[in-house]
């Protein structure tokens, strides 16, 4: 199963291609040489990643054709929204009605949605977010793979299980050859078209070494590469960009500078934001967000986190729960539950309805076994599968009892596709409908 559908190029404007998928037009930025009108291509994240032969494309499209429209019908049916005849407070209904029409909400209105408590109001919020997801982004659901290449880290973030100060963790460091082998399996055996390379801030996997690995991947495989190496400096980001990385996964964790300082001893939020802002300027697709339920965090903080992700023009919003370590290193208690996480995802969708891909994080799936379906029905449209080699997966213990670490990749794929089919989602990324993110790094 390919995690992309080939599309036919119908127009070219400089480096921007218009691509037709079963009559639906999308745009993507092209860095592949020799593409002409009439060619078939794969695109991910608004980037063309490969040209595909007409024979292969038509065969794939024929296989997908009936299922594609069946899934769309199921999705449309499940995402219908009826705001009339409910017992929900009229003010809440009014806010959700304006959101469903694409009208911008005031910060205070979004904050009131984060504070909802009664079940009927919560369900209406989730349905509104799901309606907006379907309205603007149809039924595509990004399925990315993640390779966790090192658990060594010099940073000492107090919420993280592989932080420098955690002595009980079993450390590992994959070689470049092992990373390339994992990429080969993900791309050639399982059909992944987008992969994330994630690790701790490991001096032996600095920006230069990671850049050479990215370069080796791009020379051999048609795949969109995101990197998540922590803070490697602006020069490191530039090296990674030049090597072919096109996405950066870097969560700011909290937009509250005081709280950031408490969970990142000796670090400043401004430094993290500088990395993100410079990456955006270079042209990276930004994946960012925060932790939900940090000790001392308020609903105002969570709203500020959502708005910061929007200001950073996030390609993908990544919000997951704070999960205390077996020996907690943060003082105080957290106040997180499944509905607070779902409210965050739903309000993120309402805040950025037309553009955002919203991830159901592994942390959320660890917190709640039913999180993937719940999140996807509350405005989310992206999942990540762990393609780290089995001998290493359990040792990337950023929080305890992490979901899927004992699950073979084939089983992860089977359960994911079964879920997506049941709710009418296609495991594809079709590019963007209108315009493209700024590519100022070109």
Residue 428 located in a structural domain: no
Residue 124 located in a structural domain: yes
Do 124 and 155 have their domain in common? Answer: no
Determine which helix (DSSP H) or strand (DSSP E) holds 419, and give its type and residue range. Answer: helix 409-422
Residue 215 located in a structural domain: yes
DSSP conformation class of 436: -
Do 126 and 185 have their domain in common? Answer: no
Exposure of 117 by Cβ count < 10 A (0-12 exposed, 13-18 middle, 19+ buried)?
A: exposed
CATH number at residue 27: 2.30.30.140
Q: What pLDDT is attached to residue 206?
A: 86
Residue 432 located in a structural domain: no
Residue 230 located in a structural domain: yes
Residue 439 located in a structural domain: no
Picking from 60, 77, 94, the residue at the C-terminal end of a domain is: 77
Do 202 and 267 have their domain in common? Answer: yes
Do 250 and 321 have their domain in common? Answer: yes
Using 70 as the pLDDT threshold, list the residues of the chain that sit under it.
1-3, 430-442
What tens digit of pLDDT does each residue of 79-88 get?
Answer: 999 988 778 9
**337 Cβ neighbours under 8 A, 6+ residues apart:** none
Do 229 and 195 have their domain in common? Answer: yes
Do 42 and 87 have their domain in common? Answer: no
Average pLDDT, the chain: 93
Helices (H) and strands (E) in the chain, counts: 15, 15
Residue 403 located in a structural domain: yes
Do 119 and 24 have their domain in common? Answer: no
CATH number at residue 304: 3.20.20.70
Q: What is the DSSP string of 193-252?
A: SEEEEEE---GGG-HHHHHHHHHHHHHH---EEEEE-S--HHHHHHHHHHHT--EEE---
Do 154 and 295 have their domain in common? Answer: yes
Do 318 and 253 have their domain in common? Answer: yes
Q: What pLDDT is attached to residue 430?
A: 60
Residues 32, 19: contact at Cβ < 8 Å? no
Domain holding 34, by residue range, is: 7-77
Do 90 and 30 have their domain in common? Answer: no
Do 94 and 150 have their domain in common? Answer: no
Residues 382, 360: contact at Cβ < 8 Å? yes
The radius of gyration of the chain's CA atoms, rounded to the nearest angstrom, is: 21
Q: What pLDDT is attached to residue 431?
A: 54
Q: What is the DSSP string of 249-310?
A: E---B-S-HHHHHHHSTT--HHHHHHHHHHHHHHTPEEEE-BEES-TT--HHHHHHHHHHHH
| Structural domains in the chain (count) | 3
Residue 435 located in a structural domain: no
Q: What pLDDT is attached to residue 438?
A: 42
Do 56 and 83 have their domain in common? Answer: no
pTM: 0.94
């Amino acid at each position: 199963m390919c995690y992309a559908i080939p599309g036919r190029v119908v127009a070219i404007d400089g480096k921007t291609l218009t691509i037709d998928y079963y009559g639906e037009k999308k745009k993507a930025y092209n860095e592949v040489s020799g593409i002409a009108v009439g060619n078939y291509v794969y695109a991910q994240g608004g980037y063309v990643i490969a040209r595909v032969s007409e024979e292969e494309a038509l065969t794939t499209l024929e296989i997908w054709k009936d299922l594609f429209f069946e899934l769309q019908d199921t999705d449309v049916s499940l995402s219908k929204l009826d705001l009339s005849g409910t017992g929900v407070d009229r003010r809440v209904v009014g806010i959700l009605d304006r959101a469903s029409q694409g009208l911008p909400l005031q910060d205070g209105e979004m904050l009131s949605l984060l504070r909802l408590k009664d079940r009927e109001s919560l369900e209406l919020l989730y349905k509104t977010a799901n309606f907006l997801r379907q309205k603007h982004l149809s039924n595509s659901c990004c399925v990315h793979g993640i390779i966790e290449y090192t658990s060594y880290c010099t940073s000492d973030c107090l919420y993280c299980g592989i932080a420098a100060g955690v002595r009980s963790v079993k450390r590992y460091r994959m070689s470049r050859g092992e990373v390339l082998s994992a990429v080969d399996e993900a791309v050639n055996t399982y059909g992944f078209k987008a992969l994330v390379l994630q690790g701790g801030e490991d001096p032996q996997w600095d920006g230069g070494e990671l850049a050479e690995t990215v370069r080796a991947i791009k020379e051999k495989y048609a795949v969109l590469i995101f990197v998540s190496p922590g803070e490697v400096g602006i020069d490191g980001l530039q090296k990674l960009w030049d090597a072919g990385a096109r996405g950066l996964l870097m969560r700011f964790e909290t937009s509250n500078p005081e709280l950031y300082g408490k969970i990142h001893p000796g670090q400043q939020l401004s430094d993290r934001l500088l990395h993100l802002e410079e990456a955006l300027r270079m042209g990276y697709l930004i994946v960012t967000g925060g932790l939900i339920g940090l000790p001392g965090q308020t609903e105002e903080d969570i709203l500020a986190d959502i708005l910061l992700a929007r200001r950073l023009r996030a390609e993908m919003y990544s919000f997951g729960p704070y999960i205390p370590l077996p020996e907690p290193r943060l003082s105080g208690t957290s106040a997180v539950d499944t509905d607070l996480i779902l409210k965050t995802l739903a309000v993120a969708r309402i805040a950025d309805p037309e553009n955002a891909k919203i991830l159901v994080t592994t942390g959320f799936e660890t917190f709640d076994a039913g999180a993937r379906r719940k999140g996807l029905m509350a405005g989310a449209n992206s999942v990540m599968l762990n393609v780290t080699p089995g001998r290493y997966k359990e040792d990337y213990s950023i929080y305890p009892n992490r979901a899927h670490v004992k699950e073979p990749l084939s089983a992860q794929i089977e359960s994911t596709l079964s879920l997506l089919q049941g709710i009418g989602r296609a495991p594809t990324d079709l590019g963007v409908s209108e315009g493209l993110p700024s590519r100022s790094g070109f």
